[in-house]
Amino acid sequence: MRLSELEKLDGIRCIEGDGADHEISHVYISDLLSRVMAHLDEKTLWLTVQNQVNAIAVAELADCPAIVFVEGAIPSEEMLRRARENAITLYTYQGEAYELAAWLVKAGL
């Protein structure tokens, strides 16, 4: 699945980056950064409410292409800047992570 397909879902919005052509093959849902570091890679879409700058550092270390901040979490300006520097695409989603994950499964992820 390409990241661009996320924009078909109501309530999701790209707020930084343009990784639309990036291929993702799985999703990981967690807010505990030490667990996330063990599960992200270059084809993982990360769903979280963890809107602190360390989240960008974790995604950068794992070459994670995109983060979706669920439940209306909004990243700070510092996070946006760091994501831009590291080519990490950021999205916001008003719904819960489970809803988005269920949609991704139906969409073929």
* Domain positions in the chain: 3-106
User: How large is the average pLDDT for residues 8-30?
Assistant: 89
Tokens representing 66 are 């995109």
- Rounded to whole angstroms, the Cα distance separating 47 from 62 reads 14
Sheet with strand 66-69: strands edge to edge? 12-16, 89-93, 66-69, 44-48, 26-29
19: pLDDT strictly greater than 80: no
CA 16 centroid distance within chain: 11
The CATH fold assigned to 3-106 is 3.40.1390
Q: Say whether pTM exceeds 0.85.
A: yes
- Using one digit for the tens of pLDDT, what is the confidence trace for 56-84? 999 999 999 999 999 999 999 999 999 99
Helix segments in the chain, DSSP class H: 33-39, 53-61, 77-85, 97-106
